[in-house]
């Protein structure tokens, strides 16, 4: 089973850049989308079904054109969970979970901390999310959390660690959180299979960053530790260029 995660930075813009043709070629069983920047009423939903995804679920921010996540699946899930039930988190449409027979997959879009107010919001979000997941794992041991975490974990995950040490996304407090989150029982599936540098999932639109591969790895498929025996492969797809991010993914054997 192939699961892909992709921050599309606007689903309508991505579609205009060929996203649906790419999706059919990539052919994941499940795709987690972040930053759709759309409510489903603004979209022609039939086009996703024609692309092979009859089951598509959307959790949008209250604010139009902002944030928002979705999950498309070839097979019908047993249950769909919109948000976390935590009021301080759910108004921005950042969490959507599908439960299948043997595992659950969540599309996650963690906030960025681009200014002090948003950094405080992000840090609070991270703390509440950790508590939420600690409890959720008791109910769902096989849990895959795919999405844009807006954090580089280690120096190997960013092109210029020294220059960015005081930049949100690579702050010590953020790196400590994602380190602790993994230590709480999650596997960074890409690093499980690949220890090589220069593998990124986001590039600034400035300074020709993508062509020069001056990027950040901030998109992850994190699998709960009981899923380790199911992991077969993990990958990054930098050739997909519908966004300033690229897709990341994992294959599991059920």
CATH number at residue 162: 3.60.10.10
Q: Is 148 exposed, middle or buried (0-12, 13-18, 19+ CB in 10 A)?
A: buried
Rounded to two decimals, the pTM is 0.98
Question: Going residue by residue through the chain (254 aa), what tens digit of pLDDT does each one get?
Answer: 999 999 999 999 999 999 999 999 999 999 999 999 999 999 999 999 999 999 999 999 999 999 999 999 999 999 999 999 999 899 999 999 999 999 999 999 999 998 889 999 999 999 999 999 999 999 999 999 999 999 999 999 999 999 999 999 999 999 999 999 999 999 999 999 999 999 999 999 999 999 999 999 999 999 999 999 999 999 999 999 999 999 999 999 99
Which one, of 162, 102, 94, lies nearest residue 129 by Cα? 94
C-alpha–C-alpha distance, residues 67 and 91, integer Å: 10
| Beta strand pairing call for 30-34 and 2-7 | parallel
The C-alpha torsion from 1 through 102 and 31 to 150, rounded to 10°, is: -120
Nearest to 150 by CA among 126, 133, 134, 127: 126
Which residues on adjacent β-strands are paired with residue 221?
Answer: 146
Q: What is the pLDDT of residues 108-165, one digit of tens each?
A: 999 999 888 999 999 999 999 999 999 999 999 999 999 999 999 999 999 999 999 9
Number of domains in the chain: 1
Classify residue 189 by burial, with Cβ atoms within 10 Å: 0-12, 13-18, 19+. Answer: buried
Contact 31, 22 (CB under 8 A): no
CB 244 within 8 A of CB 202: yes
Whether 101 is catalytic: no
Q: Which residue do the tokens 């600690």 mark?
A: 134
How far apart are alpha carbons 148 and 169 in whole angstroms? 11
Q: Which of 99, 148, 157, 188 is catalytic?
A: 148
Question: Which structural domain, as residue segments, surrounds residue 206?
Answer: 2-252
* Helix, strand, or coil (residue 117): helix
Q: Which tokens hold the place of 98?
A: 């599908």
What is each CA distance from 142 to 57, 115, 183, 185, in whole angstroms?
Answer: 21, 35, 16, 11
**Structural contact between residues 35 and 10, judged by C-beta atoms closer than 8 angstroms:** yes
Strand partners, 96: 82, 107
């Amino acid at each position: 089973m192939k699961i892909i995660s992709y921050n599309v930075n606007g689903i309508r813009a991505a579609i205009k850049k060929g996203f649906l043709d790419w999706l059919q070629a990539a052919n994941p069983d499940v795709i987690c989308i972040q930053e759709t920047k759309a409510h489903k009423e603004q979209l022609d939903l039939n086009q996703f079904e024609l692309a092979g995804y009859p089951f598509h679920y959307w959790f949008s921010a209250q604010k139009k054109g902002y944030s928002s996540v979705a999950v498309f699946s070839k097979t019908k899930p047993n249950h769909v969970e919109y948000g976390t039930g935590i009021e301080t988190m759910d108004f921005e449409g950042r969490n959507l979970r599908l439960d299948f027979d043997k595992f659950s997959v969540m599309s996650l879009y963690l906030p960025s901390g681009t200014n002090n107010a948003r950094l405080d919001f992000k840090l609070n979000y991270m703390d509440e999310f950790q508590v939420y997941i600690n409890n959720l794992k008791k109910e769902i041991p096989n849990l895959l959390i795919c999405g844009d975490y807006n954090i580089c974990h280690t120096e190997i995950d960013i092109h210029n660690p020294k220059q960015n040490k005081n930049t949100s996304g690579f702050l010590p407090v953020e790196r400590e959180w994602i380190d602790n989150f993994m230590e709480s029982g999650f596997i960074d599936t890409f690093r499980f299979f690949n220890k090589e540098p220069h593998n990124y999932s986001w590039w600034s639109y400035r300074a020709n960053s993508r062509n020069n591969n001056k990027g950040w790895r901030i998109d992850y498929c994190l699998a709960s530790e009981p899923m380790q025996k199911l992991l077969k492969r993990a990958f990054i797809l930098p050739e997909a260029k519908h966004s300033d991010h690229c897709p990341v993914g994992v294959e599991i054997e059920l």
